[in-house]
Amino acid sequence: MTSLNRRSVLGLGAAAGAGLVIPTTAAAHAARAVPTSAPAFVRGNRPTLTHGVQSGDVGARGGVLWSRADKTSRLVAEISTDESFRRARPVSGPVVTAKSDFTGELKVDGLEAGRDYFYRVRAVDPDDPRRGSAWELGRLRTSPSKSQDIRFLWSGDIAGQGWGANPDFGGFRIAPAMAAREADFFLSSGDNVYADGPLTSTVTLPDGRVWNNIVTEEKHKVAETLAEFRGQYAYNLLADNWRAFLAQTPIVAQWDDHEVTNNWYPGEILPDDGRYTERRVDVLAARAKQAFHEYIPVGDASPDPDGRIYRKLSYGPLMDLFVLDMRTHKDANTTNAETSADGGVLGERQTRWLLRELAASRATWKVIAADLPIGLIVPDGPLQEGISQGDGGAPLGRELDIAKVLTGLKRLGIRNHVWLTADVHYTAAHSYSPDRAAYQDFDPFWEFVSGPLNAGAFGPNKLDATFGPAAEFVAAPPAANTSPADGFQFFGEVEIDGRTQQLTVTLRDIDGGALFTKTLDPSFR
């Protein structure tokens, strides 16, 4: 897909949000290609798509398309390698109803590996297909089946700490820089929403400037009901430039804590501080998980019978992506000094799955997407929220579970593994070495941290010496909860060269500028 065509998709997404029509080449072709039996505009009470389109978990042969209508409708799509849609394949989707908040997914298969595709989605009256919405245009790239270049982005933390979608920046200030990278996909590393973060319409900055937020009814308070959790995801899609970015970039999503509430764990009962009338976190988490799956296109590749979202996605012979769920099985926040491993961050089933799939992988690079950093100390008051607890000695608590994975990687002979994470609201590059570690039964590896995307910037956090981390690069704000207006928002980029098989990580700032770059050579021992 040419850059011009990618920009056409981006422009169409933004135009849809603003109620405008941009006369791009893609728009003109799309308008001409609408079949006369199902016109884009029909007088009367026709359905409308309300929150753009997305694609997710796109593999070599297919993926998932997503959209939302304003009433009971059937979602239909067309997909083509031709931007004119002259040789488009129809895709029949579900009838969406209030049961799913009128959201729906369309599964697409039979595609060719390593190809660029245009897709478009519309909603039609299930009783009269002549009554339908306008088409919403998107694009995706299928994963390769042979050694070819790969580029993807990762980050997390969206609309947190009082910093929401700001119309002065077109929504989220960082979105245009991410779109400009024309990535194969975007790995969302958790905190996709801040369900526990109410917004106000304005925030006065320390220097007197005013930050403006779009505010909806659901963002006035913490989310408790299913409708309020749904409203968190719908809110992010009010950001025109973010909606446009998702239309042109497939998403691979995991979740962390703020999709439910800060630092949550199963079985937790929230304190009676006046914010929540429903204090049982298990009840909140069930509603939050339903909203997550309704609003984010996630494939059905997870092998977990209990609904966790861990899964492996293959990107040809060069990379397998292992997406972890470090929240659903997380144990209670204590001092994290337990002396026996209890599966308190991954769970026994997920740990067995991870080591089994790592052993079976023949890809050069194993990229592990973790929603919690390994060596950073993340306190929860006097307790510990993260994996590390700060004593720097032999593994304790959740460190025992990570030690099992790191030692398993060594015994499997897997040296080409890279860990990506977010969560701490700054960006960093960490090298881990047994030579400087208290626990030494593992091979050296790298962990890269990015974020936030549109939230308060914090950090840096202290490192725990258990696994021998060293901060090779850190970019953090001068003060806690620095606004996106002042920058200090970050995303990361991973590129794998199809010829040399080298993996390069670049940490980028809010405008897309490269802050740090590290190229890793593959090991073939």
Query: Does the pLDDT value for residue 355 go beyond 60?
Result: yes
Whether 312 contacts 359, CB under 8 Å: no
**Cα–Cα distance between 49 and 74 in angstroms, integer?**
11
Tell me, yes or no, whether 391 and 441 share the same domain: yes
Do 298 and 430 share a domain, yes or no? yes
Render pLDDT for 425-480 as a digit per residue (tens, 0 to 9). 999 999 999 999 999 999 999 999 999 999 999 999 999 999 999 999 999 999 99
Of 32-41, 125-134, 410-419, 447-456, the one with minimum mean pLDDT is 32-41
Question: Is 353 in the same domain as 204?
Answer: yes
Q: Is the pLDDT of residue 2 over 50?
A: no
Confidence of residue 308 (pLDDT cuts 50, 70, 90): confident
Query: Would you place residue 126 in the very low, low, confident or very high pLDDT band (cuts 50, 70, 90)?
Result: very high
pLDDT higher than 70, residue 216:
yes
Q: Are residues 109 and 181 in the same domain?
A: no
Determine how β-strand 365-369 pairs with β-strand 417-421.
Answer: parallel
Q: Label residue 343 by pLDDT band (50, 70, 90).
A: confident
| Residue carrying structure tokens 């850190």 | 474
Q: CB of 170 within 8 A of CB of 241?
A: yes
- With CA atoms as reference, report the closest residue to 170 among 205, 199, 212, 215: 212
Is 47 part of any domain?
yes
**pLDDT band of 209, cuts 50, 70, 90:** very high
d(CA 513, CA 525): 35
Distance from C-alpha of 361 to C-alpha of 413, rounded to nearest angstrom: 12
End-to-end, the C-alpha distance of the chain in Å comes to 37
Distance CA 292, CA 307 (A): 12
| Distance, CA of 449 to CA of 430 (rounded, Å) | 8
| Residue 391: C-alpha distances to residues 38, 68, 294, 337 (Å) | 66, 48, 41, 9
- pTM, whole model, 2 decimals? 0.91
- Tell me whether residue 393 is in a domain: yes
How far, rounded to the nearest angstrom, does the alpha carbon of residue 186 sit from its chain's CA centroid?
6
- Residue 105 shares a structural domain with residue 124: yes
Same-domain pairing of 49 and 165: no
Q: Are residues 419 and 299 in the same domain?
A: yes
Choice among 17-26, 133-142, 211-220 with the minimum mean pLDDT: 17-26
Q: Which residue has the tokens 């400087």?
A: 436
Residues 89 and 234 in one domain: no
Could you tell me the pLDDT band of residue 525, with boundaries at 50, 70 and 90? Answer: low
Domain stops at, among 141, 171, 204: 141
Range 294-307 average pLDDT: 85
Residue 13 in any domain: the answer is yes
Q: Sheet harboring 514-520: ordered strands across?
A: 103-108, 63-69, 49-56, 251-253, 185-188, 150-155, 491-496, 503-508, 514-520
In a domain, 87, yes or no: yes
CB 76 within 8 A of CB 91: yes
C-alpha 53/C-alpha 297 separation (Å) is: 10
Q: Please say if the pLDDT value at position 185 is more than 60.
A: yes
Same domain flag for 317 and 361: yes
Q: Among residues 85, 119, 141, which one ends one of the domains? A: 141
Residue 386 and residue 474 share a domain = yes
- Assigned domain for 525 exists: no
Number of domains in the chain: 2
- Nearest by Cα to 298 from 362, 261, 252, 364: 252
Round to whole Å and give the CA distance between 242 and 106: 21
- pLDDT at position 19, please? 32
Contacts 24+ apart (CB under 8 A), 93-96: 93/65, 93/121, 95/126, 96/68, 96/69, 96/72, 96/123
| Residue 163 near residue 456, CB atoms below 8 Å | yes
DSSP string for residues in 13-57 = HHHHHHT-----HHHHHHHHHS-TTS-S--SSS---EEEEEEEES
Alpha-helix runs per DSSP H in 129-267 = 175-180, 226-236, 240-248
CATH number at residue 340: 3.60.21.70
For residue 431, give its domain range.
150-520
User: Which pLDDT does position 435 carry in this prediction?
Assistant: 97
In a domain, 353, yes or no: yes
Report d(CA 243, CA 54) in Å as an integer: 8
Domain boundary among 86, 120, 141: 141
**pLDDT tens-place string over residues 42-100:** 345 899 999 999 999 999 999 999 999 999 999 999 999 999 999 999 999 999 999 99
| Predicted pLDDT at 25 | 29
309 in Cβ contact with 298 (< 8 Å): yes
Cβ proximity of 497 and 522 under 8 Å = no
CATH of the domain at 131: 2.60.40.380
Residue 134 has pLDDT above 60, yes or no: yes
Does one domain contain both 432 and 299?
yes
CA distances from 422 to 32, 451, 457, 496 (A): 43, 5, 12, 21
- At residue 7 the predicted structure's pLDDT band, cuts being 50, 70 and 90, is very low
Give yes or no: residues 155 and 133 share one domain: no
pLDDT of the residue at 312: 96
